[in-house]
Each structure stands twice: as structure tokens, then as C-alpha cells.
Amino acid sequence: MKDKKKANKHRFLIILMFLGLMFFSLIGRLFYLMVTTGDKYKAIAYAQQKSEIQINAKRGRILDRSDNELAISVNVYQVDLDLITLKLTLSQKKMTFDDLANKLVPIISMKKEEILKILNTTLPNGLPASSAILKRQVEQSEIDKIKALNIRGIVIASDTKRYYTNNNFLSVVLGKLNYDGKGISGVELAYDKELLGTPGSISYEKDVKNNQLPYEDQQYVNPVDGKDIVLTIDETIQDYIEKAAEKALNDNKAKAVNIMVMNPKNGEILAMTSKAANDQDKSKDVNSLWKNPSVQDTFEPGSIFKVVTAAAALEYNIGVNDGYVCGGSIKIGGTTIHCWDLNGHGNESFVDIIKNSCNIGFVQLGTKIGKDKLIAFARKMGFGQKTGIDLPGESPGILRKPSQINAVDLSTIAFGQGLGVTQVQYMAAFNTIANGGTWIKPHIMKNIVHTDESGKIIVDKNFSDYNKKKVFDTGLSATLRSDLEKVVTEGVGKNAFVDGLNVGGKTGTAQVIDPATGRYAEGKYMSSFAGMAPASDPKVTLLVSIDEPSSGSYYAGDVSAPVARDLFKQIFNYITIKGEGNVLGN
């Protein structure tokens, strides 16, 4: 009997110890869950109980300098999916995802496969997602049809859609957005942060059936709309150059036409456009369609670069008072270099070689200056480096070091071959001559603004990063402007002459390199004209470049100068009517 009692007592102690161990294990586990990892599980529970819908902010507008709208965002809708609620609803209605997809296809113009893929969205760990975005930027008419389906779990939220008010007007400058509403090119990318704004949200706690809990109020956070970007662009001048570029493209059967108009006194870009003969084909290539050639592409400037060589001669006082002889060609290091006028210009002065755009005269001048001085001056004028313009994708151009240049290279660089520049880079240097010797950063943004609750416009930021540098003597720049005026009144730029306006400028006809061979292509040229007016105190500068004109003459004096003449007439008539201060802001 004693042995039996002893055995029972022993069993009782074992059971008691086991229960005690279980109890303390449970207490330990509860301590671990409630204290050690409590915050983690609270967060998980809160996330499961909370429903939050993002409210997208309205993207800021892009305006021209007179507050004309160039890009705006309008209110549309976004279709979100609460996948947990949606599955319960479909189960109650005895519907499948396939059935729902068939109903949505004709409403939102999406392929059935796309809809099913979104309905079956999974998390990175492979588990079904609780929510997904079905489609953004949906119009009211489509939303009405979706609501008529009466299916819980399809959530309608506010969204915005971008409209460019004049279609392709200024398109490569304005840029575009991706599907998520983020800027991917042009001003839309450069100022994406300012334009984007801050999204808001609606959040509330829900039960297991995803119904809002009756004791829990919605929490609403207002979105903060993006700021407006006011550009330096003048819509009227932009319209002039868009039409001029299109006409020049067709008249000359050219590959492309690029035109830029600037205020040389402050670096503001008043207008910028690029038109290409194959723009229709570009629609297949998004990168090509939204590329800005004036900022991103380099070209050999040809004779418009003679302005820089002439400025270097004045800077160093080399060759300015010398005579030059052009017999139509010259031999440098065993290489024969030809003038555009094969008959030659004969005896010339420094001013003559500028107004005649004499290659041989500039070969001789470049040799006098020397490669070290010429390259150093070109670099001081901003070549071989980015200007810092507030547009994406800028190229630094190509300017070799003196150690990489031989006598032939020096000769050709002196008249604009053997280096690469961008349009905006060249214009920054040309503006330096126009404004009296100060290099100023080209820019497209005038200021950033927003409208407060009372409707008052608040200026958040004015452009101030001019990076001004005095790089050329004021008196020498006035001398060179006088020489450039003679190019138009007496020389190769006569077709840019405007009575009473005193236009100064320089033509340039450069051979084009064939990218397939790396050699100059036979019969292909870039014809350019860089001009300023009035030459004594320029208010406006412009650059017209026509790539591969093929309808007759390819000389810039015949092809590009007339385009510049017509634009100067239009622009100064407009400035006179509207008022210089209103257009140029000086």
C-alpha cells in the first residue's frame, strides 16, 4: 500500500512539475510576445485594421514669362483595388476574377491579361497582396460605368492628368511624365521636385469584413499641390520660331532645324525649338522624341566659331593690324586647306577676313595666335564644359587639349572644324560678345511660385544662379560687334540685313561627319547663322542652324541668314508693340 501511495505521489509531483514548466513557459512566451516583440505585433495588427488611401497632389503648372499656361494638370480619378474586400464581394456574387475582368475590359480599355495580372498581385514573399492600383488617370465617364457595376472592393480615388495646352508646342523643352506622374525629361524632370507636391491620405480602422469601425473617425490629410514653374520663354516669340523652323525644314528639305533666341544681358532663353524631318518616325523611339538637341547634341560650328577666334586675337592683340592673303587654298604640314571661295579673296585686313568669312585668313590668324592661347581662350568662353543650364542631359562638347593638337588641327579649329559645341554653349559665348564681355549661365526658369488660400501669388524663388564671369574686355567686345555688323552690311551675311535695326552676325557652313565612317560626309553641311541686334547694344541674340539642307544652296548666307532676318523683324516689331520691359524684363 505504501509503495502504491509513494508511486502516486511521485506521479503527482511529475505532473505538477510538468504543469509548472508549461505554466512558466506560457508566461515566458507571453512576456516575449507582449514585452519583447509587442511593438512589432501591435504594428502588424494596426496595419491589418487600418485602411489608408493616398490622395495624389495636383502637379504644378508650367507657365511662360507672361503667365500663359503651357502645361497644366486636371482632376481625374484613380481606380484602386481593396483585394480582400473584392474577393469577399465576388464570392458573395458568385463571380470569379475572370468574370470581373470581362466586365472591366470595355470600360477602361485594358487588356484582360493585364487586369487579371493586377487582380492576382502578390507580395515579394509570394503571398496575395491586400491592395493594388488598377488604373490611373481615368476619366469621369469611365468612373460612372465602374460605379454602376456596384462591386465593393473597387475604390475610386482622386488623381491628376497632365495636359500640354498647345500640343507639341515647346515639347522638347517642357519634357514629359512617366505613367506614375514623375518627370522624365525637360522642365518636367529638371523641376520635378518642385512641381510634384506632397500627397495626402484618408485613413480609418476597419473590422474583419473591411467595414469602417463605427467609433473610429476618418483621418484626412490634405495633399499639398505642387508649385508653378514660370519660364523665361515668351510664348509669342516661341510661336515665331516654331513656325520659322517648320518652314525652313520644308523649304530646304533639311534633316533638322534648331533655333534659339536669348536675352544676352541676363542669360534668359526666350525661345527654343528643334524640328526634324523624321519626327514621325521618332514616335517609335521615346528617347529620341524627347531629346533636346540644343542642349544634348554637339556639332562642328564651322565659321560661326570665327567670332571666338577673332575675339582671341583682340584679347591677345595678335594679328589685328596684320594683312592677310587668300589665294583660295593654303598648305599646312602637307595638307591642303581650301577657302569656301576657291578663287580666293586676295589681300585682306583683319576686318576683311571676318566679313568675308575667309578660311585661309583664319588659318593664318590661328597660326599667329597659337594653340595654347586659342584653346585657353575658348575654354574661358565656356567651350569644352557644361554651361550648367537648368535642363537635363547637357553635353560638355568637345575641345581637345593643346597637347593633342597639331598644326593642321589648329588651322581647322581656327575656322570652326575639329571641335564640338552645343547650341546653348555657343550662345553663352556669343552672348558674352553681345553684352560687353560677361559670361552668364543660360537658363529656362524665371521663378517658382504658388497661389495661397486667398488667391494671392507668392514667389518662392527667383532665378539667381547666373554664375557671371567677366571674361572679355568691354571695349574689345564693342569693336568686335562693329566688325560683325559689317558681316551683315558688307559681307557674307547680307541676307540677314534688316533696315534700321543694325544686325550683327556671323554665318557658318560646316561639313558634317558621317558617324558610320568618322569622316566628313560628301555634300552634307550644317548651315548656321548667329546674330545680335541692335549691334551697338544687343537686346536679342539668336542662332539658326539648318542640318543638311538639300534643296539647292547649302551656304549659310543663303539658307540660315534669311530665316534670322525674318525672325529679327517679327521679334522687334513685337517688342516695339508690347514694350521692351514686358518682353525682356530689363
The fraction of the chain above a pLDDT of 70, given in percent, is 88
At position 100, the amino acid (one-letter code) is L
User: Is residue 265's pLDDT more than 60?
Assistant: yes
Pairing of strands 329-332, 457-462: unpaired
Going by C-alpha positions, the residue among 380, 300, 375, 366 that lies closest to residue 330 is: 366
What pLDDT sits at residue 234?
96
User: Is residue 213's pLDDT more than 80?
Assistant: no
Instruction: Give a three-class secondary structure readout of 279-338.
Output: HHHHCCCHHHHCCCHHHHCCECCHHHHHHHHHHHHHHHCCCCCCCEEECCEEEECCEEEE
Give the separation between CA 210 and CA 225, rounded to whole angstroms: 30
Mean pLDDT of 89-99: 89
Taking CA atoms, 66 is separated from 111, 234, 583, in Å, by 43, 7, 8
Mean pLDDT of 225-248: 95
Residue 114 DSSP SS3 = helix
pTM: 0.83
Give the separation between CA 170 and CA 152, rounded to whole angstroms: 44
The DSSP bridge partners found for residue 154 are: 81
User: Is residue 39's pLDDT more than 70?
Assistant: no
Give the separation between CA 29 and CA 16, rounded to whole angstroms: 19
Give the separation between CA 309 and CA 362, rounded to whole angstroms: 8
CB 293 within 8 A of CB 324: no
More confidently predicted of 221 and 567: 567
Taking CA atoms, 315 is separated from 312, 321, 381, 531, in Å, by 5, 13, 12, 21
pLDDT in tens, 352-403: 999 999 999 999 999 999 999 999 999 999 999 999 999 999 999 999 999 9
Domain 72-159 sits in CATH at 3.90.1310.10
Taking CA atoms, 205 is separated from 160, 213, 218, in Å, by 27, 6, 8
Give the separation between CA 448 and CA 331, rounded to whole angstroms: 56
What pLDDT sits at residue 285?
47
What pLDDT sits at residue 295?
96
More confidently predicted of 514 and 584: 584
Mean pLDDT of 524-546: 95
CB 118 within 8 A of CB 81: yes
Going by C-alpha positions, the residue among 475, 541, 453, 457 that lies closest to residue 504 is: 541
CB 161 within 8 A of CB 74: yes
Give the separation between CA 586 and CA 580, rounded to whole angstroms: 8
Pairing of strands 438-439, 346-348: unpaired
Q: Which of 117-131, 228-242, 470-484 is predicted with the least confidence, judged by mean pLDDT? A: 117-131
Mean pLDDT of 44-67: 75
10 Å CB burial of residue 270 (0-12, 13-18, 19+) is buried
Give the separation between CA 532 and CA 355, rounded to whole angstroms: 15
Mean pLDDT of 130-150: 89
* Proportion of the chain in helix, strand, coil states, percent, rounded to 5: 40, 25, 35
Give the separation between CA 29 and CA 7, rounded to whole angstroms: 33
Residue 429 DSSP SS3 = helix
Asked whether the CA dihedral 483, 484, 486, 490 is positive or negative, the reply is positive
What pLDDT sits at residue 204?
60
The catalytic position among 303, 527, 545, 560 is: 303
Pairing of strands 62-63, 228-231: parallel
Residues composing the chain: 586
Taking CA atoms, 394 is separated from 297, 298, 384, 425, in Å, by 8, 10, 12, 10
pLDDT in tens, 171-198: 999 999 887 788 999 999 999 999 998 8
Rounded to 10°, the helix 306-316/359-369 angle is 40
CB 360 within 8 A of CB 337: yes
What pLDDT sits at residue 284?
41
Q: Tell me the Cα Rg of the chain.
A: 35
CB 201 within 8 A of CB 221: yes
Q: Give the end-to-end CA distance of the chain in Å, rounded to a whole number.
A: 118
Going by C-alpha positions, the residue among 267, 271, 265 that lies closest to residue 233 is: 271
Mean pLDDT of 566-570: 97
**CB 401: neighbour CB atoms within 10 A?**
11
What pLDDT sits at residue 16?
75
Mean pLDDT of 475-487: 97
More confidently predicted of 499 and 518: 499
Give the separation between CA 249 and CA 131, rounded to whole angstroms: 51
Per-domain residue ranges of the chain:
72-159, 235-584
What pLDDT sits at residue 200?
78
Domain 235-584 sits in CATH at 3.40.710.10
CB 185 within 8 A of CB 391: no
Pairing of strands 457-462, 469-470: unpaired
CB 469 within 8 A of CB 438: yes
Going by C-alpha positions, the residue among 204, 274, 214 that lies closest to residue 246 is: 274
Grid cell at residue 204: 480609418
Give the separation between CA 303 and CA 491, rounded to whole angstroms: 13
What pLDDT sits at residue 282?
43
Mean pLDDT of 339-349: 93
CB 56 within 8 A of CB 138: no
Mean pLDDT of 229-247: 96
Is 303 catalytic? The answer is: yes
Mean residue pLDDT of the chain comes to 88
Give the separation between CA 490 and CA 272, rounded to whole angstroms: 29
User: Is residue 332's pLDDT more than 80?
Assistant: yes
Taking CA atoms, 44 is separated from 40, 49, 50, 80, in Å, by 6, 9, 10, 22
Give the separation between CA 91 and CA 82, rounded to whole angstroms: 14
